[in-house]
């Protein structure tokens, strides 16, 4: 079997709830996604997706993803799409760095491989550990009263896990988290995600003033050194997200005892093949793990769901349903969301059925 055709489409995916805000004025109105199809000479097609969150979240941007996919795709034509490790090595050989441009291609080849084997991707990722994964919802950064009201609303919809955005002016963030915690029932799981917005000094001020509140701290500062220094005065669990950019970084975090949990983002790590490898090692090393991504709709959410459900329940933190964030429906048979939990679609591969009409004309159409 070999790769006969690669197509890539650009798709704007506006957010249902309007602007998504993080600290320091960072925000986005939607995902600007690249969706990739890889078709074999035997007529099988696999799908992949990559969408950055604006230009400010990870070292990735939409125009870069489009240009990168177009640049790297011709190297994959004629290759066996099922030779995933080899394909990843090839992509890293012909194009140094830039893992996010490789992610949708790796995802599409993985989908194709599982479809060829007649198994869902979750089976290829190590096997299904449970039927559904717990979802979290984000309370985006804003005025104290708005955040408390949003948290209350989310909980009233049946969710038990909140990620509260912090990382701005410390004293305001202390008020934000106190107001959110006071507005939700006891037992609601709260993550305070600073998105690397604080210095260690600021993070320590926040930690000291919020000792009475039950939460998990997520990525307070940019560097692992600063996060580790905060962790030394933290009496709560610490999760790192932005710092986990590769296998080497994950091992470094482990060696230095810098975190209890990790948020693995598929595109930041270069695709599902590498994410699966890092996930498996992280689980064996004792980390709690969330597998998610920087953005995307049904294709990307399905990939996240297959990786989440193949993560052992006792090591899994939570998942996110990005396809419910956006106003476009890119596929039928999307990952089912029941209450505050998400499953995987039935069927081989990702299990989804992409709506070709919605995608329109590809910006890349390359054949062997």
Smallest gap from residue 343 Cβ to Mg ion (A) = 23
DSSP 321-355: -GGGTBS---EESPPPEETTEE---SSSBT--EE-
Smallest gap from residue 81 Cβ to Mg ion (A) = 32
136 within 8 A of 162, measured Cβ to Cβ? yes
Q: Residue 271: is it exposed, middle or buried by C-beta count within 10 angstroms (0-12/13-18/19+)?
A: buried
Instruction: Give the Cα separation of 245 and 269 in Å (integer).
Output: 6
Q: What is the DSSP letter of 188?
A: -
CB-nearer residue toward Mg ion: 66 or 216: 216
Q: Residue 323: is it exposed, middle or buried by C-beta count within 10 angstroms (0-12/13-18/19+)?
A: buried
The set of catalytic residues is 165, 265
Interacting residues with Mg ion (CB under 5 A)? 193, 241
CB-nearer residue toward Mg ion: 245 or 333: 245
CB-nearer residue toward Mg ion: 241 or 298: 241
Q: What is the DSSP letter of 211?
A: T
CB-nearer residue toward Mg ion: 195 or 273: 195
Instruction: Pull the structure tokens for residue 85.
Output: 């490790």
Smallest gap from residue 39 Cβ to Mg ion (A) = 35
In Å, how far are 21, 141, 184 from 160, measured between CA atoms? 21, 19, 9
Smallest gap from residue 52 Cβ to Mg ion (A) = 14
Instruction: Give the Cα separation of 259 and 12 in Å (integer).
Output: 35
Smallest gap from residue 218 Cβ to Mg ion (A) = 5
CB-nearer residue toward Mg ion: 114 or 227: 227
Question: Around Cβ 295, how many Cβ atoms within 10 Å?
Answer: 30
């Amino acid at each position: 079997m070999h790769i006969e055709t690669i197509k890539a489409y650009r798709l704007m995916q506006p957010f249902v709830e309007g602007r998504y805000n993080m600290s320091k004025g960072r925000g986005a109105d939607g995902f600007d996604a690249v969706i990739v199809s890889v078709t074999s000479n035997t007529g099988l097609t696999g799908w992949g997706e990559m969408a950055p969150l604006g230009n400010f979240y990870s070292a990735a941007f939409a125009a870069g993803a489009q240009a990168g996919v177009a640049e790297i795709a011709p190297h994959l034509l004629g290759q066996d799409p099922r030779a995933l490790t080899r394909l990843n090595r090839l992509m890293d050989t012909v194009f140094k760095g830039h893992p996010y441009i490789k992610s949708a291609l790796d995802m599409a080849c993985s989908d194709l491989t599982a479809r060829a084997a007649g198994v869902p991707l979750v089976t290829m990722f190590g096997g299904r550990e449970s039927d559904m994964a717990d979802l979290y919802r984000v309370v985006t950064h804003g005025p104290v009263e708005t955040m408390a009201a949003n948290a209350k609303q989310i909980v009233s919809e049946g969710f038990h896990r909140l990620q509260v955005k912090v990382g701005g002016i410390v004293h305001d963030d202390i008020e934000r988290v106190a107001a959110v915690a006071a507005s939700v029932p006891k037992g609601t799981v709260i993550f305070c995600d600073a998105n690397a917005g604080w210095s260690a000094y600021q993070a320590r001020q926040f930690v000291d003033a919020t000792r009475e509140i039950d939460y998990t701290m997520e990525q307070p500062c940019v560097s692992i050194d600063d996060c580790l220094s905060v962790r030394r005065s933290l009496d709560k669990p610490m999760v790192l997200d932005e710092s986990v950019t590769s296998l080497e970084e994950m091992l470094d975090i482990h060696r230095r005892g810098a975190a209890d949990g990790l948020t693995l983002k598929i595109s930041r790590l270069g695709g599902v093949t590498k994410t699966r490898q890092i996930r498996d090692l992280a689980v064996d090393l004792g980390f709690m793990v969330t597998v998610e991504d920087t953005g995307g709709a049904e294709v990307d959410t399905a990939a996240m769901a297959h990786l989440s459900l193949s993560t052992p329940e006792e090591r899994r933190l939570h998942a996110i349903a990005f396809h419910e964030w956006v106003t476009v429906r890119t596929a039928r048979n999307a990952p089912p969301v029941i209450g505050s939990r998400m499953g995987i679609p039935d069927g081989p591969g990702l299990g989804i059925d992409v709506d070709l009409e919605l995608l329109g004309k590809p910006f890349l159409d390359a054949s062997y």
